[in-house]
Amino acid sequence: MKEIIYNYDYLSEEDITSVVVRIKALIINDDCIYIGNENNIFQFPGGHLEEGETFKECLKREILEETGIVILDSDITEPFMKVTYFNKDWPEVGQNRKSEIYYYIIKTNKKPDLTKTKYTEHEKEGNFKIEEVPVKDAIDVIKKNMPSNPRNKVISPDMIYALDEYLNRFAN
């Protein structure tokens, strides 16, 4: 598994006051990938691991909530990439957060089913939608979208790393 660590403040594990785990999926259907778009912030489907939840349970729940696609345990392999952020004074001064993001590949022939989605109020307010993008064009699409929202400066590079890793190691 490829690992990327961002630790610009040189925090140690002992400095960390909270840990957040997120699960993200590159959902591949034939030659396309599904990308979430909320206020021109691109992201792969996924979200926070809830208390007592396994990675597989989180992945299945988040994919269903955001795409309406039901995946099975047999559709899930091990994560292929992990990104870790060490953030000093986040979310407030005196608190240091470690965020771990695990990336999975889900290959499916299923299409999004918006009748099964369960968007949060935040996603509804941000006009969240799932876009289908040819895998071969996805990196360029993400790069072209980066200037449309300042939050893309953080999220988009990791998406590009994940896509590049997928294309170089797993794509046919």
Provide the pLDDT for residue 172. 64
Cα pseudo-dihedral 12, 79, 32, 108, rounded to 10:
-150
Task: State percent of the chain over pLDDT 90.
Answer: 97
The string of pLDDT tens digits covering residues 10-29 is 999 999 999 999 999 999 99
Domain count, the chain: 1
Task: Please write down the HEC assignment for all residues of the chain.
Answer: CEEEEECCCCCCHHHCCEEEEEEEEEEEECCEEEEEEECCEEECCEEECCCCCCHHHHHHHHHHHHHCCCCCHHHCCCCCEEEEEEECCCCCCCCCEEEEEEEEEEECCCCCCCCCCCCCHHHHHCCCEEEEEEHHHHHHHHHHHHHHCCCHHHHHHHHHHHHHHHHHHCCC
pTM: 0.95
CATH code, domain with 40? 3.90.79.10
Within the chain, which residues score under 70 in pLDDT?
172
Structural domain boundaries, residue 101: 2-169
Provide the pLDDT for residue 171. 83
